Amino acid sequence: MLRCNRGDVLEVNLDPSVGREYMKSRPCLVVQSDMLNKYSQVTIVAPITGSENTKGGPTYVPIRQGEAGLPKDSLIVCHQLRTVDESRFGKVYGRAKPETMRQVVEALKIVLEM
């Protein structure tokens, strides 16, 4: 099985989903700590959507085309965290830049009131 690290962008099959949850196979950012990733068969991810799909907001972090191997300008949706089994992982796109991860941490502070 593929082992992931915090900051990796992976294709993740989010189906089945319910209601307004993000669905289908899509790129997702691994936000779970590397310590947990080392020992757990599940990981916490934030889905990524095309930037044309939403207006954005404080819990959306922009990620540019080409960063982490993404094919278009996109947004990391930090308020839609999902815990997923590693069997849902598909291809590896790449890694987010440190500055993007800093912005994700700030967005997660808003989501989790930290």
**Does the predicted TM-score (pTM) go above 0.85?**
yes
Q: Where are the domains of the chain?
A: 8-112
Chain segment 62-112, per-residue pLDDT in tens? 999 999 999 999 999 999 999 999 999 999 999 999 999 999 999 999 999
Chain segment 19-34, per-residue pLDDT in tens? 988 889 999 999 999 9
H/E stretch holding 110 reads: helix 98-112
pLDDT over 60 at 1, yes or no: no
Give me the residue label for tokens 């990620």.
63
What is the CATH architecture of 8-112? Answer: Roll (2.30)
| Torsion sign, CA atoms 89, 70, 6, 4 | positive
Chain segment 47-65, per-residue pLDDT in tens? 999 988 777 799 999 999 9
